[in-house]
Amino acid sequence: MDELDRAIIDRLQIGFPVCERPFLEAARVLGTTEEELIARVEGLLRDGTLTRFGPLFQVERMGGTFTLAAMSVPEARFEQTVAAVNALPEVAHNYAREHALNMWFVLATETADGARDAVRRIEAGTGLPVLIFPKEREYFVGLSLASLR
């Protein structure tokens, strides 16, 4: 990752224009060309530095819900459980964590029923109980993390 990559990540985490030639507009701010910027973003996605490039949707503003959920998965069954959980399109992200509850994921669904249904399918598919932690209040959500030198 060079200086331009870092600048792209830091700048484009904050936002991206909505206009006819947004890469051209962003490239001007970054001091590069449209073609180079597109190639860099492609490269950062390909090598996994970026996981996505595009809009972040807030399903709660569309009437939907985000639900944090956790499971305690035996180590011997961890990989098969990851596959079963991740197979649901409702699972927006999923992290392994060091705790008795060692798998934490977020369900993004268009309805509260959708979240309950996804939990039932995961429990049926894995044979493991799912604890859910619906958000009661949001005190803060940050938008970005800077790339470190």
Partner 1 sequence: MNVGRLDSLDRRIVQALQEGLPLVPRPYDAVAESIGATPDVVRQRIAAMQVDGRIRRIGAVPNHYRLGWIANGMSVWDVDDARVDELGGRVGALSAVTHCYLRPRRLPQWRYNLFAMVHGRDRGEVANKVADIGRVLGDAARAHDVLFSTRILKKTGVRLGAAPPEGSPAGDAGPATVPIHQPARAGSAQG
**Binding to partner 1 by residue 130, rule CB under 8 A?**
no
**Residues 57-96: x/- map of binding to partner 1 (CB under 8 A)?**
xxx-xxxx---x-------------x--xxx-xxxxxxxx
Please choose, from the candidates 138, 119, 146, 124, the residue with its C-alpha nearest in 3D space to the C-alpha of residue 60: 138
Q: Which amino acid is at 15?
A: G
Q: State the number of binding residues for partner 1 (CB under 8 A).
A: 78
Min dist CB 128 to partner 1, Å, is 13
Q: What are 120's two structure tokens? A: 């039932």
Q: Of the candidates 70, 78, 142, 144, which has an alpha carbon nearest to the alpha carbon of residue 107?
A: 70
Nearer to partner 1 by Cβ, of 31 and 52: the residue is: 52
* Residue choice 29, 53, 77, 120 for contact with partner 1 (CB under 8 A): 53
- Return the residue of 28, 29, 111, 120 that touches partner 1, per CB under 8 A: 111
Asked if 106 and 68 count as a contact pair (C-beta separation under 8 A), the reply is yes
Q: Please state the closest distance from residue 121 (CB atom) to partner 1, in A.
A: 14
Is 29 near partner 1 (CB under 8 A)?
no
Verify binding: residue 31, partner 1, rule CB under 8 A.
no
CB 109 within 8 A of CB 115: yes
Rounded CA-CA distance 71/123 in Å is 10
